[in-house]
Structure 1
Amino acid sequence: MSCRLQELRRKEVINACTGCKIGYVDDLQIDTKCAKVVALIVYGRPRLFGLFGKCDDYYIRWEKIRLIGEDAILVEDSVQKMPNKAKKRHKFVTNCHQINL
């Protein structure tokens, strides 16, 4: 079976042990030396329109994929979360001082 990236992006990634939805394939990691797909990457979804940051990204090694079906990709339970880069904390109010009237 062959599959294009565009077709992979439409497939839902599901944890086979728990049945939980992880997300959709957003990116691939490819080893250019041996021309193999190393991992699928699922980006974390934004929390409350991105105001509270986003969930962790998932890095799914190719060996952890159990099945690629027509609608979904089943993966093993031990999926790694990618560490988020340095998180910037956005402050709505900075340097507030009490003003006496």
Structure 2
Amino acid sequence: MKISDFQTKDVINITDGKRLGQISDLELDLKQGRIEAIVVPGYSRFMGLFGGGTDLIIPWRNIVKIGSDVILVKMDEMKENNYDERDREARLYDEQNSRMDRVERIERLDRSQRRTI
């Protein structure tokens, strides 16, 4: 099978039925002549070009079946990764809001100081 044949197949997680995307790359063990893992771009990327999504690296041992149209994988830890991503996004949101609060306080202080002068 050619690498280009791999890249046209959808990767499906059989644990939750979620479509993970298509393979963008392979990790190879050149000494052993084996595929170590498949790489699927993170969900926040657009066509693998834009965005800073992290790639999902799926070890070869997690591949259950390679069919004519799909590759079935078993990824139990996907729930943990999704939680980590939501947690990171929540922290970024909180940081952004606290920055906005600080800017508003500084602007109010600046306005009040101008009135007193």
1:17 positional shift:
1.5
Unaligned runs of 5+ in 2: 82-106, 108-117
Structure 1, residues 45-80: CA drift from partner, whole Å, max 9, x if none?
A: 436863xx43x3111111100000011000012357
Amino acid of the residue matched to residue 5 of structure 1?
I
Percent of matched pairs sharing the same residue:
35
Q: When you count strand as a share of all residues, which structure comes out higher?
A: 1
Counterparts of 1:40 and 1:71, CA distance in 2: 16
Matching residue of 2:64: 66
How many residue pairs get aligned? The number is 90
Matching residue of 1:31: 29
Task: Note closer, same or farther for the CA distance 1:23–1:35 as it changes in structure 2 (3 Å cut).
Answer: same
Q: Do structure 1's residue 16 and structure 2's residue 14 form an aligned pair?
A: yes
Whichever of the two has the greater Rg, that structure is 2
Q: Which moved more, 1:40-49 or 1:21-30?
A: 40-49
Contact 1:60 1:79 in 2 (8 A): no
Structure with more relative contact order (C-alpha pairs < 8 Å, separation 6 or more): 1
Counterparts of 1:17 and 1:67, CA distance in 2: 13
- State the TM-score, normalizing by the size of structure 2: 0.59
Matching residue of 1:41: 39
After superposition, the CA RMSD in angstroms is 3.4
Matching residue of 1:90: none
Q: When you count helix as a share of all residues, which structure comes out higher?
A: 2
